[in-house]
Amino acid sequence: DAGVIQSPRHEVTEMGQEVTLRCKPISGHNSLFWYRQTMMRGLELLIYFNNNVPIDDSGMPEDRFSAKMPNASFSTLKIQPSEPRDSAVYFCASKPTGRLQETQYFGPGTRLLVL
Amino acid sequence: AQKVTQAQTEISVVEKEDVTLDCVYETRDTTYYLFWYKQPPSGELVFLIRRNSFDEQNEISGRYSWNFQKSTSSFNFTITASQVVDSAVYFCALSEVGDDKIIFGKGTRLHILP
């Protein structure tokens, strides 16, 4: 079974540019989570979806961030315009909905550097 | 409110020593799940263990063991005979019933010195 797939693995961009991060969850997993990891703030949940519907986006830092899940096998996290403080590792994770005993499985992450 | 505290920010031990990583949690629920994840230098987050609140039995998996004590709201992780490959950041986490979210602690960075 393929795990959670994220692309790109590394992204370097200049301030003001649009950045789009992509995630493919594990097949059959109905919940998808986006996290951001920085040294200062640790691992933060940005947003999560159940059955393609956003459930909790309270962790999204500001309007520059948006996330979509157009179907069960694909999600995007977009930053527009990007700023240097957005530099971080962004993780996507998935798990089956409602089965709380199941853990979240993480993708390899996207390392973003905004210059 | 739910919270996970890992008071040890960074630990260094010499190879073959035993080391315990502490985790204290807060929750109002009586049913919840606790997790440990490992993040090696390569950066991925690797699931290690999940424990539900009704199961207080300690668990051992090779050199890894976990001590869950509801009375002290703790879920500590011990590595026996540590190895250099155990060097990583270890995260403790909590999820409550009815909530798909997992709340992570800040992590403990473990250095195993040769």
Residues of B in contact with A104 (CB under 8 A): 47, 102
Residue B22 token pair: 């502490």
Phi, psi of B17 (to 5 degrees): -75, 155
Burial state string for A29-48 with b = 16 or more CB within 10 A and e = fewer than 16: bbbbbbbbbeeeebbebbbb
Q: Given this model, what pLDDT does residue A96 score?
A: 80
CA distance B17 to chain A (A): 27
Mean pLDDT (chain B, rounded):
92
Separation between Cα atoms, residue A20 and residue A104, nearest integer Å = 22
pLDDT along chain A (115 residues), means of 10: 91 97 94 94 93 93 93 96 96 81 87 97
Cβ atoms of residues B8 and B24 within 8 Å: no
Reported as a single tens digit per residue, the pLDDT across B57-94 is 788 889 999 999 999 999 999 999 999 999 999 999 99
pLDDT at B97 over 80: no
- Amino acid A114 reads V
Percent of chain B scored above 90 by pLDDT? 75
Cβ atoms of residues B93 and B105 within 8 Å: yes
User: Would you call A48 and B35 a contact, using CB atoms and an 8 Å cutoff?
Assistant: no
Q: Given this model, what pLDDT does residue A46 score?
A: 96
Minimum Cα–Cα distance from B95: chain A residue: A100
Does A1 or B5 have the greater pLDDT score? B5
User: Would you call B52 and A101 a contact, using CB atoms and an 8 Å cutoff?
Assistant: yes
Residues of A in contact with B101 (CB under 8 A): 33, 45, 48, 56
User: Would you call A100 and B106 a contact, using CB atoms and an 8 Å cutoff?
Assistant: no
Q: Given this model, what pLDDT does residue B55 score?
A: 82
Q: Given this model, what pLDDT does residue A61 score?
A: 87
The angle subtended at Cα A35 by Cα B69 and Cα B66, nearest 5°, is 20
Burial state string for B18-57 with b = 16 or more CB within 10 A and e = fewer than 16: ebebbbbbebeeeebbbbbbbbeeeeebeebbbbebeeee
Test the A interface: residue of B45, B48, B106 with most A CBs within 10 Å: B45
Phi, psi of B82 (to 5 degrees): -55, 150
Q: How many CA atoms lie within 13 A of B58 on its CB side?
A: 10
DSSP state of B6: -
Residues of B in contact with A36 (CB under 8 A): none
